[in-house]
Amino acid sequence: MKSAFPDWKSMGHRYFPLGVSMRYEFGCAVWKVSVDVGCSCPNIDGTIGTGGCIFCNAPSFAPSRRFHKPEVSISEQIDIGIRQLQRRYGKAEKFIAYFQPSTNTYLMPERLEQFCRTALEHSEIVGLTIGTRPDTLPDEILDMLELLSQTAWIQLEIGLQSIHQKSLDFLNRRHNYPVFRDAFERCRQRNLRLGIHLILGIPGEDRNDVLATAREIARLQPDCVKLHHLYVVRKTQLEKLWQTGKIRLTTLEEYAGLVVDFLEVLPPNIVIDRISGEADASFLLAPDWTGIKHAARNAVNQEFQHRCSFQGFRHDSALPTL
Per residue in 258-291, pLDDT (tens digit) is 999 999 999 999 999 999 998 888 899 999 999 8
- pTM confidence score: 0.93
pLDDT given at position 65: 57
CA 158 from chain center: how many Å? 7
Residue 117's CATH number: 3.80.30.30
Radius of gyration of the chain (CA): 19
pLDDT given at position 91: 72
Residue 222 lies in a domain: yes
Residue 163 lies in a domain: yes
Residue 135 lies in a domain: yes
Least confident range of 174-183, 272-281, 295-304, 305-314: 272-281
| Residues making up the chain, counted from first to last | 322
Residue 87 lies in a domain: yes
The average pLDDT across 62-75 equals 68
The string of DSSP codes covering 86-145 is HHH-TT--EEEEEE-SS-TT-S-HHHHHHHHHHHHTSTTEEEEEEEE-TTS--HHHHHHH
Residue 5 lies in a domain: no
Cα 127-128-130 angle, rounded to 5 deg: 165
Residue 187 lies in a domain: yes
Residue 204 lies in a domain: yes
Count: domains in the chain: 1
pLDDT band at residue 59 using 50, 70 and 90 as cut-offs = low
Q: Hey, CA dihedral for 199, 200, 203, 206, is it positive or negative? A: positive
Per-residue pLDDT at 305 exceeds 70? yes
Residue 6 lies in a domain: no
* Maximum pairwise Cα distance, the chain: 53
pLDDT band at residue 321 using 50, 70 and 90 as cut-offs = very low
133 contacts: CB under 8 Å, gap ≥ 6: 41, 42, 43, 103, 105, 106, 158, 159, 175
Please tell me whether residue 307 adopts helix, strand or coil conformation. Answer: helix
Q: Domain of 148?
A: 13-311
106 contacts: CB under 8 Å, gap ≥ 6: 39, 40, 41, 42, 132, 133, 136
